[in-house]
Amino acid sequence: MADLEIKDLHVRTDEREILRGVDLEINRGEIHALMGPNGSGKSTLANTLLGHPAYEITEGSIVFKGEDITEAEPHERAKAGLFLAFQYPVSIPGVSVANFLRMAINAKRDEPIQVKEFRTQLQHAIELLDVDKAFTSRHLNDGFSGGEKKRAEILQMAMLAPDIAILDETDSGLDIDALRTVAEGVQRLHDEQGLGALIITHYQRILHYVKPEFVHILMDGKIVLEGGVELVERLEREGYDQIRQEFGGQPELAA
Amino acid sequence: MSAAPNGASADGARTNGATPVQVKAGRHREASLYHALAGAGAGDGRTLAQLREAALRAYEDSELPVWRRSGFWSTSLQSLDLDALETSVQEHGVPEVVSRTLPDRPRAGRIVQSAGAVVQVELNEALAERGVILCSLEQAFEQHGELVSEWYCKRLPIDRHKLEAANAAFWTGGAFLYVPQGVVVEEPFEIVYAIDRPGVAQYGRTLVLGGPTSEFRVHEYDLAEDFEGQALHAGAFELYLQDGARCRLAQFQDWGSGEVYDSSTRFVGVGRDAYCHWLPALLGGHLVRQHLELAVMEKGGDMAFRGLFFTEEHEHLDVFAVDLHETGPSGGDVHWRGTATGESRASFEGLIQIDPGAQQTHTYLQIHTMMLSPKARVDAIPSVLVSADDVSASHGGTVGELDETAIFYMQTRGLDRPAAVRVIVEGFFEPLVAELQDEALEQLVRDRVQEKLAAAREDIEAYAISR
């Protein structure tokens, strides 16, 4: 049984069915890429996996490490070892990055983390992600540039050490340096901690820095094509339209 | 330091006390009260006895006040059974609520009034030797009559409404703090008003003087036990800073869950090149009406006027805060934040007033509110009255609700919903709390905010579902 098993997932929001039967299996230590055109349901899948209240699961199930979490609260999923790096990270004024990280780490533990241990972990994560130490005393995402927000997401991921992380278009809006830092951060967490990742992206460019073993193409709420990294190259050559024609996606439903 | 009258106003707010204003219930409309305490106060050379006598006449001639807030709602003190309350001057010991609440920390001095009597006065000896005075206002009139009489009621009126008049007529105990020229004190002076039982009418009266280039902190605590039944705190507070003096004034107000009414007028006057940072934290009281005024009275004066409030259950809070510039150049910066849970109501009315001749004044007023409950209501009403042409004055603000996206974001990091709400609300107040620059007091405010949030947990949940 895979660590994360998504079975026949149907999801509605605002009276519309966005996901129409998604099956996906992800294990720790595996890097998956989920690609698809705008409106195919990629972000819906990401938010649904973490339990966003606006998305209603009408059919199917999500099982994580043997537990059915289809109905679980978002924080319970996080504590179990899932993580979502947001496409648009939210600013939390008045709370420093470091304090927020400490709260998040303590939420997963019975005993609060020792100051020294926390500092060591933070120092390690800071080096991994090439951010300034002063960064951690700034208020979380408040006034951050796009690149800083995404780095803060990966910093949190590094500190919380999830089993499986979903990265929702983490590459969008990043310049090449930030993109490389973020991508290398993911790759190192995979190599060092055995992180499993589902990298959701519209573009191919992040996949030049992180090498996925599995690639899934989502169209109109269904995974229509799966394969290895060669799929990325094919997409680059042919674009989504070719695949859509081949696999009978329904363009009229894509928003 | 002068208190030159600046522009007579239309009604009793600028009385000299000679002719008490007739105050009828319901007549205290916003239009007639909507201006600063411009001009001289009641202390115009009359003795304390004469002022008490004048105030007594105003008291007898008036009803309990009602403030109609046009388009909004009323703040009425008429549900107060004033005749049933007593001003006890026989008190023994410091009430438990005081020892329980005040942080154990180094301080320059402390004065505690319980009901109508001062029950504790302590002052650092080294400071006393340097001429610092901290004592009851009654004692100050006896021992430092000349100094006190010069400043008492310099800018405070005594007859605008029944409770203001009651305070001026009946006050007992009281607090007097004098920091002489050049004396710099790091630790705070603590001024405490406590009510430990129902049935008490407390007329609190505070006078603080900062001599030229003095620097000091004042922490006022307004505390009551949680009891059933009515009590009253009618307060009058005045603080004057002379040339180049600097003061950080903070107020921690939590009247508990009893039916405590608080109607207070507070005036802070900033002299030449002086500076005041003033931050009231209004964190509890059945019905609270605060008239707060921070005035730059002389050239070069500067101020930061901060405040936060958090009402709960059926509490009612009405704040009228004035950023007054009587001369220029002067600086001002007003920043308030407030929230409400339960079925409570809070109104914050902020006024920037720049008098004629107060050229080169620069000031800004911002008020931010956050809604935490479907039945609570917070109104923020900013106004700007400018009578000079070489100034900058503006206002801004936000009305926020709990951001569900932010809550989800934090939940995906493992925080449960109540924890995420705590983070948001704490973050909302944090910019102001951090400005207290006093760890013990900051922690006290943070803890009280958290307690209120914990108490309102179901309410906040219900609000999320209703949206």
The alpha carbon of residue B14 is apart from the nearest alpha carbon of chain A, in Å, by 42
Per the domain annotation, does A8 fall within a domain? yes
Count of CA atoms in the C-beta half-sphere (13 A) of B199: 3
Q: What is the pLDDT of residue B391?
A: 92
Mark out the alpha helices in A52-141 (DSSP H runs).
74-80, 97-107, 115-129
What strands, in cross-sheet order, belong to the sheet with A222-227? Answer: A82-85, A164-168, A196-201, A31-35, A214-219, A222-227
Structural domain for A87, as ranges: 4-91+162-253
Region class of A147: left (phi > 0), else alpha (psi between -120 and 50), else beta: alpha
Report the chain A residue with the minimal C-alpha distance to residue B424.
A92
Distance CA A150, CA A11 (A): 27
Question: For testing the chain B interface, which of A49, A64, A76, A103 should be mutated: the one with the most B CBs within 10 Å?
Answer: A103
Q: What is the pLDDT of residue B73?
A: 75
Secondary structure class of A248 (helix, strand, coil)? coil
- Partner-chain contact A94 B426, CB within 8 Å: yes
Report the chain B residue with the minimal C-alpha distance to residue A50.
B412
- Compute the Cα dihedral for B47, B48, B51, B56 and give only its sign: negative
How many CB atoms are located within 10 Å of the residue B284 CB?
Answer: 28
- Option in A73, A95, A107 nearest B427 (CB): A95
Mean pLDDT of chain A: 91
- Bridge partner residues of B232 (DSSP): B201, B261
Per the domain annotation, does B40 fall within a domain? yes
Helix (H) or strand (E) holding B248: strand B246-254
Q: What is the pLDDT of residue B279?
A: 98
Phi, psi for residue B145 in degrees, rounded to 5: -55, -40
Is the CB of residue B410 less than 8 Å away from at least one CB of chain A? yes
The alpha carbon of residue A77 is apart from the nearest alpha carbon of chain B, in Å, by 7
Residues of A in contact with B419 (CB under 8 A): 103, 107
Contact of B220 with B191, CB cutoff 8 Å: yes
Is the CB of residue B418 less than 8 Å away from at least one CB of chain A? no
Give, in order, the Cα–Cα distances in Å from B47 to each of B44, B116, B143, B317, B338: 9, 22, 15, 34, 41
Is the CB of residue B461 less than 8 Å away from at least one CB of chain A? no
Collect the ranges in chain B with pLDDT lower than 50.
1-32
Cis preceding linkage at B198, omega within 30: no
Per the domain annotation, does B429 fall within a domain? no
Q: What is the pLDDT of residues A72-92, one digit of tens each?
A: 999 999 999 999 999 999 999
DSSP tag of A3: S
Q: What is the pLDDT of residue B448?
A: 96
- Partner-chain contact B409 A89, CB within 8 Å: yes
- Partner-chain contact B410 A86, CB within 8 Å: no
Residues of B in contact with A50 (CB under 8 A): 408, 411-412
- Option in A52, A53, A104 nearest B413 (CB): A104
- Partner-chain contact B431 A94, CB within 8 Å: yes
Q: What is the pLDDT of residues A175-214, one digit of tens each?
A: 888 888 888 889 999 999 999 999 999 888 888 888 899 9
CA A183 to chain centre: 12
Distance CA B88, CA B118 (A): 11
Q: Give residue A248's pLDDT band: very low, low, confident or very high (50, 70, 90).
A: low
The alpha carbon of residue B104 is apart from the nearest alpha carbon of chain A, in Å, by 25
Cβ-Cβ contacts under 8 Å between A and B: the total is: 76
Contact of B331 with B365, CB cutoff 8 Å: no
Residue listed under structure tokens 């094919």: A234
The alpha carbon of residue A80 is apart from the nearest alpha carbon of chain B, in Å, by 9
Q: What is the pLDDT of residue A250?
A: 53
Residue listed under structure tokens 């009414």: B261
Task: Please give the residue that has the higher pLDDT: either A247 or A242.
Answer: A242
- Partner-chain contact A107 B414, CB within 8 Å: yes
Contact of B240 with B216, CB cutoff 8 Å: no
Per the domain annotation, does B110 fall within a domain? yes
- Overall domain count for chain B: 1
Four-point Cα dihedral A106, A110, A114, A119, nearest 10? -30
Per the domain annotation, does A145 fall within a domain? no
Per the domain annotation, does A129 fall within a domain? no
pLDDT over threshold 70, residue A63 = yes
- Option in B414, B428, B431 nearest A75 (CB): B414
pLDDT over threshold 70, residue A241 = yes
Question: What average pLDDT score do residues A114-121 get?
Answer: 94
- Overall domain count for chain A: 1
Q: What is the pLDDT of residue B119?
A: 97
- Compute the Cα dihedral for A71, A73, A79, A83 and give only its sign: positive
Residue listed under structure tokens 């394969």: A227
- Partner-chain contact B406 A90, CB within 8 Å: yes
Per the domain annotation, does A60 fall within a domain? yes
Tell me, what amino acid is at B39?
G
Return all residues near B173 (Cβ < 8 A) that are at least 6 apart.
B89, B113, B116, B117, B118, B136, B137, B138, B204, B205
Question: What average pLDDT score do residues A26-44 get?
Answer: 94
Return all residues near B2 (Cβ < 8 A) that are at least 6 apart.
B297, B298
Distance CA B29, CA A104 (A): 51
Is the CB of residue B45 less than 8 Å away from at least one CB of chain A? no
Contact of B306 with B344, CB cutoff 8 Å: no
Per the domain annotation, does A125 fall within a domain? no
- Partner-chain contact B430 A94, CB within 8 Å: yes
Mark out the alpha helices in B137-283 (DSSP H runs).
137-143, 145-151, 162-170
The alpha carbon of residue A47 is apart from the nearest alpha carbon of chain B, in Å, by 10
Is the CB of residue B413 less than 8 Å away from at least one CB of chain A? yes
Return all residues near A116 (Cβ < 8 A) that are at least 6 apart.
none
The 3 state secondary structure assigned to B77-112 is CCCCCHHHCECCCCCCCCCHHHHHHCCCCCCCEEEE
Per the domain annotation, does B357 fall within a domain? yes
Q: What is the pLDDT of residues A120-145, one digit of tens each?
A: 999 988 887 778 888 899 999 999 98
- Partner-chain contact B431 A108, CB within 8 Å: no
Per the domain annotation, does B389 fall within a domain? yes
Q: What is the pLDDT of residue B465?
A: 63
- Gyration radius (Cα) of chain B, Å: 21
Of A209, A182, A210, A181, nearest to A196 by C-alpha is A210
- Partner-chain contact A92 B419, CB within 8 Å: no
Report the chain A residue with the minimal C-alpha distance to residue B425.
A94
Residue listed under structure tokens 């600013």: A91
- Option in A77, A79, A86 nearest B409 (CB): A86
Secondary structure class of B178 (helix, strand, coil)? strand
Q: What is the complex's ipTM, to 2 decimals?
A: 0.94
Per the domain annotation, does A169 fall within a domain? yes
- Partner-chain contact A94 B408, CB within 8 Å: no
Per the domain annotation, does B414 fall within a domain? no
Is the CB of residue B424 less than 8 Å away from at least one CB of chain A? yes
- Partner-chain contact A103 B426, CB within 8 Å: no
- Partner-chain contact B415 A75, CB within 8 Å: yes
- Partner-chain contact B411 A78, CB within 8 Å: yes
Structural domain for B338, as ranges: 12-402
Return all residues near B451 (Cβ < 8 A) that are at least 6 apart.
none
Phi, psi for residue A83 in degrees, rounded to 5: -145, 145
Count of CA atoms in the C-beta half-sphere (13 A) of B166: 23
Q: What is the pLDDT of residue B381?
A: 85
Distance CA B127, CA B412 (A): 54
The alpha carbon of residue A75 is apart from the nearest alpha carbon of chain B, in Å, by 4
Distance CA B375, CA B345 (A): 9
Residues of B in contact with A90 (CB under 8 A): 403, 405-406, 409
Is the CB of residue B417 less than 8 Å away from at least one CB of chain A? yes
Question: What average pLDDT score do residues A108-122 get?
Answer: 92
Burial classification of residue A193, based on how many CB atoms lie within 10 Å of its CB (0-12 exposed, 13-18 middle, 19 or more buried): middle
Report the chain A residue with the minimal C-alpha distance to residue B430.
A94
Distance CA B219, CA B191 (A): 6
Four-point Cα dihedral B106, B111, B112, B117, nearest 10? 160
The alpha carbon of residue A193 is apart from the nearest alpha carbon of chain B, in Å, by 18
Of B246, B297, B250, nearest to B270 by C-alpha is B297
How many CB atoms are located within 10 Å of the residue A231 CB?
Answer: 19
Per the domain annotation, does B168 fall within a domain? yes
Per the domain annotation, does A104 fall within a domain? no
The alpha carbon of residue A73 is apart from the nearest alpha carbon of chain B, in Å, by 8
Q: What is the pLDDT of residue B27?
A: 41
- Option in A78, A92, A95 nearest B412 (CB): A78
Four-point Cα dihedral B33, B35, B36, B38, nearest 10? -100
pLDDT over threshold 90, residue A253 = no
Strand extents, DSSP E, chain A: 4-13, 16-26, 31-35, 56-64, 67-68, 82-85, 164-168, 196-201, 214-219, 222-227
Tell me, what amino acid is at A82?
L
Q: What is the CATH number of the domain that holds A85?
A: 3.40.50.300
- Partner-chain contact B423 A139, CB within 8 Å: no
Distance CA A20, CA A23 (A): 10
Four-point Cα dihedral B325, B327, B332, B337, nearest 10? -10
Whole-prediction pTM value?
0.86
Return all residues near A145 (Cβ < 8 A) that are at least 6 apart.
none
Q: What angle do CA B379, B381, B387 make, to 5 degrees?
A: 170
